Amino acid sequence: MIAQEPPSPAEATPRVLAGFGAQDAKPKRACIVLWMEGGPSQIDTFDPKPGRPTGGPFKAIDTAVRGARFSEHLPLLAKRAGRLCVVRSVTGDEADHHRATLHLQTGRRPGGLLGHPDIGSVMAHFNREGDRPGYVSIRARQSAMSEVERGPGFLGARAGPFVVEDAANADRLLRELDARVKERGALLEDLNAEFRREHPNENSAVRESLYAAARALKGSDIERALDLRGVKEEVLRPYLGPDRPGTPMARFGTGCLVARRLVEAGVPFVEVLLGGWDTHGGNFPAVQFLSSRVDAAFSALLDDLAAGGLLDSTLVVWMGEFGRTPQVNLTNGRDHYPRAFSAVLAGAGAARGRVVGETDADGIDVLRDPVTVPELFATIVHLMGVDPAGRYPVNEIGVARVADARPCKAMLQ
């Protein structure tokens, strides 16, 4: 048996679109994922173990949820814990960055024939309008770790992300596009026609949708949302914590502000990346540093969304591909640990002021209410307003479900 060629996304997309009109009836939702690339330490953030051998040097502080404590470096979030659903019992078994990222982001283990879409692509697929990207990825990079390849998979490039490299200048590139972009685009399509007729292939379809998306961005409200030139300093300030605007460290906070503006402009899904969590060495200074940025930006985002009346329809998710070992290693770091880690949700229909699940005294195993990675994925999908049990027909190969597991009820309101 030879390996089957994966289905062409160009063929997959029209067939998948047909038959999903029923999703339109639901209220419009949006989702912002704060993706903590590298695997954030759960013990040093949302699931502290003070006084234990695995606890590390950070103190634990009380939060607005009685009995729940966070690391001392998350004071603003501690005050806002009443808005949060902290899941301490996420459990997976992938310890490789690439595999684990795909596991979290697609709800399945990687491998197998189909390239499954990541969360943003799922949302974009069902909620995108015309050629406008339905998924914006703000890669506020602070680490040199390699980016894992993930994206729309069999849903095709139309569901894929528009990537913003630098949130402070997100629209900088779009401003560089001249006015004749559309005319030139028309000539390009004509010159492509003959080649495409003689060489039908999936890659041409991908390129066509990329160029169409780029043209659709020019002059759109998405471009306006990315333009921060008119934004007052006092609006940006709360997102930045100790950092000054325009500095490299301010990228994550600025990205969160941009995410809020994009959701206001009707973009269904925004991801903001924060790297640097892969702390195999020197875990504690790094986590303290990153925590203060997360504390400020995540808090400011929640406040802004609530003030704008958007929190009830916007899901915010904080997570990485795995957690980190309770045991501290020889270089004062923590290594990869998928067995028991944390994720935090807020907004939309997520439970408020609740801690789901529990790990043991040292954070080694989940004691109660485990949430598997596929279940976490299914819950996020559900909270985004997409039916996790829904199916995509994927050519003749068969039917793929949106999610392979059921949402976790304890995480819902």
Partner 1 sequence: MMRAALAAALLALPAADNPVDRHLGALWREHGVSPAPRTGDAEFLRRASLDLTGTVPSEEDAARPPADRARLVDALLASDAFAAHWADRLGHSLLGYPRDLEDHRINRPQLHGWLRARLAADAGWDAIVRGLLTATGDFGADAPVSFINQFTAFIKDAPVLRPEDVTAKACEEFLGIRLRCAQCHDHPFDRWTQADFLAMTAFWRRTGFGAARTLERADKPFAYEVERAPLPGPRFLDGAAGRDDPADLADRVVAHPQFARVFVNRVWACLFGRGLVEPWNDFSPSRRPVAPALLDELAAAWRRENFRVRWLMRTVVLSEAYGLSSRAADAKALPLFAAARVRPLAPEQLYGAIARATRLAGAPIDVDRLRRLAGAQAHLPHDPHDALRAWFLRMSVQTSSPESPHAPSRLTANSLHAVHMMIVDSPLYDGARARLKELAGRPPAEAAAELYLATLSRRPTAAELKRIAGEPLEDVFWCLLNCDEFVFNH
Amino acid of residue 263? V
DSSP H helical ranges for 265-311: 283-307
CB 150 within 8 A of CB 102: yes
Binding segment for partner 1 among 3-11, 40-48, 53-61, 236-244 (CB under 8 A)? 3-11
215: three-class secondary structure by DSSP: helix
C-alpha distances (whole Å) from 126 to each of 17, 19, 135, 155, 387 are 8, 11, 11, 10, 10
DSSP structure string for 124-160 = HHHH--TTS-SEEEE----S-PPPP--S-GGG-GGGS
Out of 26, 62, 82, 93, name the contact with partner 1 by CB under 8 A: 93
Name the residue with tokens 């990315």: 226
Tell whether residue 248 is a contact of partner 1 (CB under 8 A). Answer: yes
Binding segment for partner 1 among 16-24, 95-103, 258-266, 298-306 (CB under 8 A)? 95-103
CA dist., res. 373 & res. 383, Å (int): 15
Tell whether residue 95 is a contact of partner 1 (CB under 8 A). Answer: yes
137 or 292: whose CB is closer to partner 1?
A: 137
126 or 162: whose CB is closer to partner 1?
A: 162
Nearest approach, Cβ of 165 to partner 1 (angstroms)? 7
180 or 232: whose CB is closer to partner 1?
A: 180
Tell whether residue 282 is a contact of partner 1 (CB under 8 A). Answer: yes
CA atoms within 13 A on the CB side of 321: 29
Q: Is the dihedral of CA 393, 394, 397, 401 positive or negative?
A: negative
Q: Which helix (H) or strand (E) holds 32?
A: strand 30-36
Binding mask 139-178 for partner 1 (x = CB under 8 A): x-x-xx-xxxx-x-----x--xxxxxxx--x--xxx-xxx
**Could you say which DSSP state residue 350 is in?**
B
Residues of this chain, 214-233, that bind partner 1 according to CB under 8 A = 214-215, 217
Residue 356 structure tokens: 């789901």
288 or 313: whose CB is closer to partner 1?
A: 288
Out of 336, 356, 371, 382, name the contact with partner 1 by CB under 8 A: 336
Out of 15, 207, 224, 406, name the contact with partner 1 by CB under 8 A: 207
Residue 86 structure tokens: 């902290």
Nearest approach, Cβ of 299 to partner 1 (angstroms)? 26
224: three-class secondary structure by DSSP: helix
Residues of this chain, 17-36, that bind partner 1 according to CB under 8 A = none
Nearest approach, Cβ of 125 to partner 1 (angstroms)? 15
| Alpha carbon 189 to its chain's center | 33
Residue ranges with strand state E in 218-337: 269-274, 314-320, 323-324, 336-337
Residues 227-245 as b/e (b if ≥16 CB within 10 A, e otherwise) read bbeeeeeeebebbbbebee
Residues of this chain, 171-200, that bind partner 1 according to CB under 8 A = 172-174, 176-178, 180-181, 183-185, 187-188, 190-192, 194-196, 198-200
78 or 122: whose CB is closer to partner 1?
A: 122
Out of 72, 96, 369, 387, name the contact with partner 1 by CB under 8 A: 96
Number of H helices, E strands in the chain: 12, 17
Nearest approach, Cβ of 54 to partner 1 (angstroms)? 16
In DSSP terms, 394 is beta-bridged to: 398
339 or 354: whose CB is closer to partner 1?
A: 339
CB 171 within 8 A of CB 305: no
96 or 303: whose CB is closer to partner 1?
A: 96
Binding segment for partner 1 among 32-40, 41-49, 204-212, 233-241 (CB under 8 A)? 204-212
Binding segment for partner 1 among 300-308, 328-336, 345-353, 366-374 (CB under 8 A)? 328-336
Tell whether residue 289 is a contact of partner 1 (CB under 8 A). Answer: no
**Could you say which DSSP state residue 167 is in?**
G
Size of the site for partner 1 (CB under 8 A): 75
253 or 407: whose CB is closer to partner 1?
A: 253
